[in-house]
Amino acid sequence: MFERFTEEAREVVQNAQEEARRLRHRQIGTEHLLLAMAEAAEGPGSQALRDRGLDPADLRRRVVGVVGPPAGELDPQALATLGIDLDEVRRVTEASFGPGALDARGDKPAPPGHIPFSKRAKKVLELSLREALRLGHKHIGGGHILLGLIREGEGLAAQVLVDAGADLAGLRDDVIRRISAEAA
């Protein structure tokens, strides 16, 4: 199937792997595909997300809000709810123990090399192929991956999009319109 991927789609998949690595996850999930799509420079999917006001930083914040920060990172918002000012704690600690004293040590990073796809992410890629075929395309582009995310509809990516105020049906129509215009 990957032989049908355009350069844009391959980049989304590679960047999804990096998103999983950055969050220290052991599998690439739908959320990583969404974050990679939102960060993509060009393409019908990333353009549709941006034009609908779906900001990559906000989407990342929403994903981290569900899955939590990478292992070993302190969560300033959670600490603030307990009345702890992380910046002040960091300042005092570093004054006593030196710069980086609160940085995580010994955390197990995501494994180097290939990170496998979750079942839902595999389903999204399968659905992206089906979307491409349904539209009469012989290739799978980034927009098709976004269509697969929307069609799958139950993963964290779809949840985050809905929580961010996205109209999934409208977003789907917008992506199909952009893909069709690009193919013409």
Structure confidence at residue 130 (pLDDT): 92
- How does the average pLDDT of the chain come out, rounded? 80
Structure confidence at residue 102 (pLDDT): 57
| 55 close to 46: Cβ distance less than 8 angstroms | no
Give the pLDDT band of residue 140 (cuts 50, 70, 90).
confident
- 162 to each of 64, 67, 85, 166, 176, how far by Cα in Å? 15, 16, 32, 5, 19
The answer to whether residue 183 scores a pLDDT higher than 70 is: no
How much of the chain, in percent, has pLDDT values that exceed 70?
78
Greater pLDDT, 89 or 162: 162
Give the pLDDT band of residue 5 (cuts 50, 70, 90).
confident
Greater pLDDT, 55 or 109: 55
Range(s) of the chain covered by CATH 1.10.1780.10: 2-67+116-183
Give the pLDDT band of residue 106 (cuts 50, 70, 90).
very low
- Name the token pair of 175: 């992506």
Give the pLDDT band of residue 160 (cuts 50, 70, 90).
confident
- Name the token pair of 130: 């089906």
- Name the token pair of 1: 């199937």
Give the pLDDT band of residue 72 (cuts 50, 70, 90).
low
The whole-model pTM stands at: 0.75
Which residue, among 3, 69, 63, has the nearest Cα to 37 in the 3D structure? 63
Please give the CATH number for the structural domain made up of 2-67+116-183. Answer: 1.10.1780.10
Q: Helix 44-51 crosses helix 30-39 at what angle (to 10 degrees)?
A: 80
